[in-house]
Copies of this chain bind each other. A is one copy, B any other.
């Protein structure tokens, strides 16, 4: 029943990830709790459903934002990607928290169902960086190649798997930028800036994106 998923989305938004109760969903559905178990094996399965649902919603938002931007302006594409992630997260904090917050205790996401949708944002990001690199639009950014041989092997594996041609240092910067974008979003959405509140968080985030674009070599 897609109605279960819909109500689950609402409950997720209102009561948060761990506050998701199958009994409450059943109540809202006007049905006794055991009936829901006909369609959903467990609370964890409902969580998984909502997880891939969220990943796809975020992926759609990011894809749409990136596509609004000229295909040859890679820096703008990156800013569009980051901005889309932030806006989606701010609009749906609980859903975002399910995707990128601390894991729900006792729940392990089944990778076979979640890795696909869960990697859409990073796939877009490497697409942008690789595109800029191939177009020669990537500024020289790092002085030295990565020194650690094990890391070099990891990067080689990633390059192989995703069919990339970017060198190690660019890849490393890309990974950092990736984590940094979500770090900044986390800080804003989860209120971890502490006492340091910002009256225009969107502007602060744009500043961050500009600096991160620089870090990635996207001038």
Whether A180 sits at the interface, judged by CB under 8 Å, is yes
Secondary structure of the A contact surface, majority rule: helix
Q: A180-B184, A181-B183, A184-B180 are in contact. Are A15 and B105 (CB under 8 A)?
A: yes
Q: How many copies does the complex hold?
A: 2
Interface residues on A, range: 35 or more
Interface segment among A1-9, A33-41, A204-212: the answer is A204-212
Q: B151 near A200 (CB under 8 angstroms)? A: yes
**How far does the Cβ of A185 sit from chain B's closest Cβ, in whole Å?**
8
Enumerate chain B residues within 8 angstroms of A190, measured Cβ to Cβ.
Answer: 100-103
Q: In the complex, which of the residues B119, B146, B176, B200 contacts A180, with contact meaning CB atoms closer than 8 Å? A: B176
Enumerate chain B residues within 8 angstroms of A180, measured Cβ to Cβ.
Answer: 176, 179-180, 183-184
9 closest A-B pairs by CB: A183-B183, A101-B102, A16-B105, A97-B102, A180-B180, A19-B105, A148-B203, A179-B184, A179-B187
Q: Which residues of A contact B (CB under 8 A)?
A: 15-19, 97-98, 100-106, 115, 118-119, 122, 142, 146, 148, 150-151, 153-154, 158, 161, 172-173, 175-176, 178-184, 186-187, 190-200, 203-204, 207-208, 211-212, 215
